[in-house]
Every structure is written in structure tokens, then in C-alpha cells.
Amino acid sequence: MQLAKPRSIRTGLAAVTAALLGPGVSGATGEGQSETSVLIYSESQRVTAVEAVYDLNRHLKGPYSIGLTLTYDGLTGATPTGGAPSKIPQTITRPSGGTSTLVPAGQVPLDNTFKDNRFAIDAGITRQVGRLATLSFGGHASAERDYSSLGVNGGITRDFFRKNTTLGIAGSWFHDVTSPKGGAPIPFASVPTDTVSTGERREHHPGKPKNINDLVVSLSQVIDRKTIFRVNYSYDRATGYLNDPYKVLSVVQGLTEPDPGEPLFNVYENRPDNRTKRAVFGEVRRSLGRNSVDLSYRYFWDTWGIRSHTIDLYYNFHVGDSSSLEPHLRFYRQSRADFYHPFLVDSVPVPQFASADARLTKLNAFTIGLRYVFSIEAGSRLSLSAEYYSQRGDRSPPETFGTQSGYNLFPGLDAFLLRASIIHDL
């Protein structure tokens, strides 16, 4: 008798077993995971970024496990300089002379030569100590054309009360160096233009250093079989060169001058040389049968006067046997830094610190996204996600007067983010 050739049910079986026993079990035994992802971030008419990440977590001999992350970022596009709009077209000149950009009248100046490549490596090792504690240690290095960063970090976690409670403390130290082309600009020195380029405006140091220390204390508590609650407090202190060497402020004509509000020239910004950031974070994750929901809130405050609130909501639900959909919503709101000035006024005393960086002003943002994860074979998953990000700020800050009153000083930002990752269980 001719029998039909038996078909293989192994792949289907692996998928249903993974559903029964939890992810990362079939074909793997908790040895680790690797993830390769590509991300495209695009702001409408502004910055476009491409990021590629390889991430590996793996158990090693004995109680050790390692983590390794390699990242490449490529950025191109236009970013606001901090300068104010003018009723006549303006030109932006590069530090070295070189190319210049023409900004149309009435629009916020954008520097469209923004271009950088960044490479980063993060590596760490974790040791299980007994059944209840872990110790970890790691390092970080990254480099781009004008910025480098080196860091070390360490942490300890300890479980209590039959592993229902985990306490953790982690700290890190970074040493970063900013090396802008031509040297760091002298604070409040006027920015050279096509017609005026005299005087010393830049320091001739090879680089400007910055040190960052941070500390995070965290507590994770299992509330019941379906609910887990996490809180943490973080403290971050940065000292050194905290200016953005590419940001400027416009000096505009005062009320008694012929054309109030119209920019006269630009100067480089100046920020305090230290910043302490603190944040508290709380998160509840609850499983609802095969689905789960994750809600978190973060409150942030710093010595620059910025306060921010972030609310994140994720809802994960299973679709079919081996795929899941995860919608995501985020709201973000921040207040403006004490030394934020949309512009400086001629004939008014210059403040000690000033920046017109749009990231330091009052703004609201929201993100809406969707992630789809599906199994491609036993132990491998493909994750696709898309997000839309919208940022709206203070279009007309209270100190605006004269011609500036007629302009939008904070053009909104709309961005799309697409990410594809392949995850392999090892």
C-alpha cells in the first residue's frame, strides 16, 4: 500500500508549545536572545535618522551572563539654530566659512547641513550571587565627528520575600568630550556672517569635557499573580561643558530702536556648567488573560527649572496563535528652562545664561504607535512598529514684541518612526 508521505508538524508544535510554556522556551532554555533592528526616523522637512542596532544577551559559564549592544546612527537634515525670524532673508554661515544657507523672511532659521554618524558600543556582565542577588558591571563608548563618550556602570539587585520584591541600585559615570569644528564658541560672541568675520570667537582647546554621574534606586513588587508594580528614583548630575556649540540666539532691536523686534545679529548661547536632574517613575503591569496592559508615569525636575510629566500606556493583545499587537500612547509635557530666551534684546543687559534651544522651552508632545510581533519559525520573531510623534511648543512666548509678535517662534514638529527587528532565542 502506498502511504502518503508524513508531513512535519514540528514547527507548528513548537509555536503552540511556546504559547503554553511562555516565550523563549521552545528551542531555547533561557540561554539568551539576540535582536537585530533597523529604525528610520523622519521629521517632516527636518531631520532624518537611520539607526541600526545589534543586541545580544547570553548566559555564560557558571553564574555569568553578558550583554552587548552595537549601535550605528546616521543623521541628516535641518535643525533650528535658535535664531529668530527676520523680515528679510537671513544667511547662516558655517563655522569654517564654507557653505551658507539662505533662510526665507519670517521663518525660524534652520541649519540644513546637520549631518552626523555615531557609533556606540555597550557591553556588560552580570553575575548571579546565590539565588537572590545579582551584580553587574559594564562599559560604554561612543564616537561621532565632534563628540565622544566613555562610561562605566555597575549595579546590584536583591530579591526579598520569596522573590516578590526586588530592590536594585545602579550607578554610572560618563566622561564626554565635545570637539566642535573650529573650537568651542565663546559664549555670547557674535556669530560671523558673510560680511562681518573679525575678532576671536572660538576657543582653541581641542575639546570641552563633561562628566555625568547618575544613580538609580528601584523597587519592583509583585502584587498578585497578574500584577507587578515598579518604582524608581533617579539622580543625575552633569558638570562641565553643557552648551550646544551649534545653537545661537538672535539679538533683536529694542522698543526704542527703529525696527523693534527685528534681529540685528546672532550670538552663541551660554548655559550653566552644571545640571542636576531628578525623576521619579512608577509603572503598573497587569496581565488580562492572554493580554496585558502597562501604564507608567514619570515626573522629572532639574536645576535648570525644567519640570516634565510623561505618561505611557501600552496594551498588548494576542492575535491568533503566535502573534501580538501592541498599541502605544504617550503624552509628554515640559515647562521651560529658567534661562530660555527666544531672543536677546539690544540695549538690555545680557543675562548670565541664555539659550534659545527649542528643546528647553515649554512644549507638549504625544506619540501614537502600533507594534506587531509574529513568529517566523521556532525561536524567532519579527517585530514591526510604526509611531507618529507630534510636538507643539510656545509659538509666541510672553516676552515677544515688535516684528517677532507676527512670527511663529516654535514651528511644530511631526515625525514618523518605523522599526523592524528580528529576535532570535538562543
Partner 1 sequence: MISEESRPFTVRHADSHWVITYTAMASPCQILIRCEKASEAEELALLAFSETSRIEQKFSRYRNDSVVSQINQGGGRVVPIDDETYQLLRFAGECFVLSDRLFDITSGILRKAWTFDGREVTPDLQLIESLRRLVGWQKVKLSAESITLRPGMEIDLGGVAKEYAVDKTAQMLFESSHFPLMVNFGGDLRAISPLSIRRPWDIGIESPDRASRPVGLIELVHGAVATSGVSYRHCFVKGKRLGHILNPLTGWPVENAPQSVTVLADSCSEAGLLSTTAMLQGEGAESFLTAQGVTYHCIR
Q: CA-CA distance, 361 to 340, in Å (whole number)? A: 6
Interface with partner 1 (CB under 8 A), residue from 128, 234, 276, 364: 128
Q: Indicate the SS3 state at residue 14.
A: helix
Interface with partner 1 (CB under 8 A), residue from 30, 282, 305, 351: 30
Q: Angle at Cα 81 formed by Cα 83 and Cα 259, nearest 5°?
A: 10
Q: Please, which residue, 61 or 204, has the CB nearer to partner 1?
A: 61
Residues 255-294, mask of contacts with partner 1 (x by CB under 8 A): ----------------------------------xx----
- Cα–Cα distances in angstroms (integers) from residue 3 to residues 8, 9, 10, 277, 294, in the given order: 15, 17, 20, 72, 52
Interface with partner 1 (CB under 8 A), residue from 46, 50, 55, 59: 59
User: Do residues 278 and 301 make contact, with C-beta atoms less than 8 angstroms apart?
Assistant: yes
Cell digits for 172? Answer: 554610572
Q: CA-CA distance, 107 to 87, in Å (whole number)? A: 9
Size of the site for partner 1 (CB under 8 A): 36
Instruction: Give yes or no for residue 26 binding partner 1 (CB under 8 A).
Output: yes
Find the shortest distance in angstroms from Cβ 290 to partner 1: 7
Q: Indicate the SS3 state at residue 350.
A: coil
User: Do residues 272 and 351 make contact, with C-beta atoms less than 8 angstroms apart?
Assistant: no
Residues 338-377, mask of contacts with partner 1 (x by CB under 8 A): ----------------------------------------
Instruction: Give yes or no for residue 204 binding partner 1 (CB under 8 A).
Output: no
Half-sphere exposure for 186 (CA within 13 Å, toward CB)? 9
Q: How far apart are the first and last CA of the chain?
A: 43
Find the shortest distance in angstroms from Cβ 21 to partner 1: 5
Find the shortest distance in angstroms from Cβ 238 to partner 1: 36
Cell digits for 135? Answer: 551584580
Find the shortest distance in angstroms from Cβ 420 to partner 1: 26
Interface with partner 1 (CB under 8 A), residue from 131, 256, 258, 352: 131
- In this structure, the chain runs to a length of 426
Q: Please, which residue, 131 or 204, has the CB nearer to partner 1?
A: 131
Q: Which residues bind partner 1 (CB under 8 A)?
A: 3, 5-10, 12-14, 16-17, 19-22, 25-31, 59-63, 128, 130-131, 163, 289-290, 321, 378
